[in-house]
Amino acid sequence: MANPGPGRPRLEQRRRPGKTPRAEILDAAAELFTNNGYANTSTRRIADEVGIRQASLYHHFATKDDILDALLADTVADALALSRWLVGVDAPGDARLYRLVEFDVTQLCAGRWNLGALYLLPELRTERFAEFRRQRNLLRRDYAALAGAVIATLRATEDPAPSGPALDPAVAELPFRLVESSISIRSDDGRSPKWAAQVFPVAALQVLGWSGDVAVVAEGARLLLKTPESESNK
């Protein structure tokens, strides 16, 4: 556990974005982990980038793994809260999936650093990061559930209804994988795809065989702009 105390005074004026030392540490670590690699980054280097003593860093994070865990959690927490809500909302499946993809790809692309690239770290396979893997799997299953609702609607409206074998369940995984491809695009291009929020939601539907009216489904998704928090505060 990290020491909750204030730590020692910083070595110099604040040089990182963030209203708290913890936020500054996370920003510095995100840059170093994504640019230099996790194994090649020490807590001393992170502290130097923030302008604090290494001992002060340990007042906020007990280990380097704790820093990585916090960064990873931030990449899925809000999307998972939204997906949990959308799975239970009484609304068309295409609008719900569109809304989740639009939100998730936007937050993956909007951050200062391409944190999704950390998903491939071998360290994430260890027990230390089991909770992150569990959260990400929950998000993946919600994507599949929403995609399954779209597929079910498409099959129900086909004329005549298909008589062949059921659609491969792996198809329902495609929207989730498509959204995470934005991580590779950022890595390859060195910058965030500005078009992601417009292109990915439609592409996620089309990969399932959807060919509806984009304007209609986008309007349906707009009506789902309420957040789980706003619903719970009513």
Domain residue limits, the chain: 1-62, 67-229
Query: In whole angstroms, how far apart are CA 164 and each of 12, 127, 159, 181?
Result: 69, 42, 14, 31
With 80 as the cut, is the pLDDT of residue 228 above it? Answer: no
Q: For the packed helices 93-110 and 174-189, what is the interaxial angle rounded to 10 degrees?
A: 20
Q: What pLDDT is stored for residue 111 in this prediction?
A: 87
Residue in 109, 107, 101, 75 with CA at minimum distance from that of residue 190: 109
Res 190: pLDDT? 84
Q: What is the mean pLDDT of residues 153-179?
A: 76
Q: How confident is the model at residue 114 (pLDDT cuts 50, 70, 90)?
A: very high
Report the number of secondary-structure helices (H) and strands (E) in the chain: 10, 0
Question: Encoding tokens for residue 80?
Answer: 């998972």
Res. 66: pLDDT tops 50? yes
For residue 165, pLDDT beyond 80: no
Identical fold for domains 1-62 and 67-229, yes or no, is: no
Instruction: Give tens-digit pLDDT for 15-59.
Output: 677 678 999 999 999 999 999 999 999 999 999 999 999 999 999
Is pLDDT at 94 greater than 90 in this prediction? yes
In degrees, rounded to 5, the angle at the alpha carbon of residue 69 between the alpha carbons of residues 47 and 42 is: 30
pTM confidence score: 0.86
* Residue 68 DSSP one-character state: H
CATH topology of domain 1-62: Arc Repressor Mutant, subunit A (1.10.10)
Q: Which CATH class is domain 67-229?
A: mainly alpha
